[in-house]
Amino acid sequence: MSSSNSEEKYDLNISFFIFLLAFLVLISASLIYSGITYLQDTSSTTTGMISIGLGLLGLVLAGYNLFRLQGRLSMIGRAPVGPQVLTREKCKSCDYEATRPFKEGDYVYGNGDPCTKCGKNELMLIGAIFLKKPPKK
């Protein structure tokens, strides 16, 4: 239970981080935009340059952080590349068979998820739990 909690916290952190980055991009874009309008007014060229400079800095910062975040995310995505544990379940009413990732509490001849096909909301019977090797390149 504690492990799934920390995962949720981690997800929340990432979405908050993305929100901050989006905010940063928004501010940078408006800085650049106002900088350009300043530049058109020849009396405040310096203010325009500073504004555009700050905006570009913000964009670079956001891009850099996004790049790092992407690296972290792809590392998370790469994690389950090893053999995958799968659960095969079969509906007792309509014989519909489904295979899904194994989850805690699954056991052979135990109850699986409700059947999505016949709509009787009956729990399917777990027929097999097996390992699936990753596809070889």
Residue 120 CB, nearest approach to Zn ion (Å): 6
Residue 41 or 95 having the CB closest to Zn ion = 95
By the rule CB under 5 A, 91 interacts with Zn ion: yes
Tokens standing for residue 88: 């095969």
104-133 binders of Zn ion (CB under 5 A)? 115, 117-118
Q: Considering only residues 25, 54, 66, 94, which one is a binding residue for Zn ion as defined by CB under 5 A?
A: 94
Using a 10 angstrom Cβ sphere, with 0-12 exposed, 13-18 middle and 19 or more buried, the burial of residue 91 is buried
Residues 96 and 62: their CA atoms lie apart, in Å, by: 48
Residues 88 and 103: their CA atoms lie apart, in Å, by: 11
Region from 25-33, 55-63, 64-72, 85-93 binding Zn ion, contact rule CB under 5 A: 85-93
How many Cα neighbours within 13 Å face the side chain of 67?
A: 6
Residue 97 CB, nearest approach to Zn ion (Å): 10
Residue 90 CB, nearest approach to Zn ion (Å): 9
Residue 105 CB, nearest approach to Zn ion (Å): 21
C-alpha dist (Å) from residue 102 to 6, 77, 81, 96: 20, 17, 15, 18
Contacting positions for Zn ion (CB under 5 A): 91, 93-94, 96, 115, 117-118
